[in-house]
Amino acid sequence: MQAVCDVISLFVRLESYYAEAVHQQRLLRSTMSFLRALLNDTVIIHPPGFYIIGFQNFPSISFYFIFLAFVYAVTVLFNSVVICVIAFNHCLHTPKFLAVLNLAVIDVILNTCTIPSMIKVFLVKDNFIPFNLCLVQMFIYYAFATLESYALAILAYDRLIAICFPLRQNSINTFGRMCCIVSISWSFALGVVAFSIGIMTQLSFCNSVRVFSYFCDYAPVFRLACNDYTMQWWAASLSAIMLLILPFTFILLSYVSILVTVFRMKSLDSRVKTLATCVEHIILVAVFYIPLLVIFTIGFYLRAINPDQRVLSLSLASCIPPCINPIVYSLKTKEIKIRVLAPIRKNQVGVQRKCCRILK
């Protein structure tokens, strides 16, 4: 009987030892999983760089890069003409032409950020970009795409004051006030984009480093992270609202006010002439905002767009507006057109005088 009791007590002890061992093992597993999660959140892994692979699947891509080279040449040439004409003519140092100058500077920098690097990838066959340079390119692109959006809103503000308050235009829209508006737009845009890019350094990239875009694009890069990127997703969403949707909304409201003012005019001829002054700006707004809003909504939120189509559409939507802005808007402005054509007319007059002297 004593032997049976000893065997039972032995089994009870073994069972308690086993239960304690299982408990210790579970505790060890939970501790290890906690440490692993803590390690993933505290140890940041940055790769040497990324590989930009946006255009690898396109047939006849060489023709597209030739087109981009032409777009870049036109962008730099015509915007440089606008910058020089406004900078060296003191009579053009007015609120309106300060806004035009602001747009021209932004156009040159925006296309310089992406097109030369895209052409380099095509010519040299080197699609690697270092990590820090990737962040720099990301910052410049989004900062100046944002500034492009605000520049169009500033031009809408100029039209709003000129049409709705024609008698008080010079007192409301002064040169100093326009300088403040441009400075605030630059400070706000650069600050918001700097914060959004800064939190990208909190991500770890321990898997793929292949970015399916035509540059170091924000969303394709943070989706490569192996830790949580919820903060970056919200930063991208809120930045899009503040930096893209709000200026576009302001432009729409400005044109609603302009239309109300125009339809109050009694003369049909006055209505037509007033609306004609807004046509070029409306074209710029449509060319810039509509493709970006469609691509951003479908690609970022719905993810219902083919990746190849997204890359091609986004590259066109980003590169074309800076190219056509000076052609459609700036160089068609009467004051700039007169000063651009003045040297040509002087040469023509000189040639005509020489011909007359020869004939005499």
Residue 306, token pair as written in the block? 């083919």
Alpha-carbon distance values, 77 to 73, 104, 117, 303, 334 (Å) = 6, 11, 19, 37, 19
Q: What is the largest CA-CA distance in the chain?
A: 147
- What average pLDDT values come out for the chain (360 residues) when binned by 10 residues? 50 52 50 46 79 79 88 94 90 91 95 90 85 93 94 94 89 93 95 92 86 87 87 87 88 94 88 88 90 74 68 85 86 74 62 52
Note the pLDDT of residue 122. 80
Note the pLDDT of residue 141. 93
φ, ψ of residue 53 to 5 degrees: the values are: -125, 30
Note the pLDDT of residue 351. 47
CA distance 32 to 43: 16
Note the pLDDT of residue 32. 40
Strands 210-211 and 128-130, sheet pairing = unpaired
φ, ψ of residue 104 to 5 degrees: the values are: -65, -40
Note the pLDDT of residue 360. 53
Residue 109, token pair as written in the block? 């920098």
CA distance 277 to 323: 21
Q: In 125-174, which residue ranges form alpha helices assigned H by DSSP?
A: 131-164, 169-172
Note the pLDDT of residue 252. 95
Alpha carbon 97 to chain centroid, angstroms: 23
Note the pLDDT of residue 34. 45
Annotated domain spans of the chain: 50-350
Q: Which residues pair with 129 in a beta bridge?
A: 50
Alpha-carbon distance values, 297 to 3, 170, 189, 234, 289 (Å) = 79, 40, 21, 14, 12
Alpha carbon 67 to chain centroid, angstroms: 21
CATH number for the 50-350 domain, one of 1.20.1070.10, 3.40.50.300, 2.40.30.10, 1.10.1510.10? 1.20.1070.10
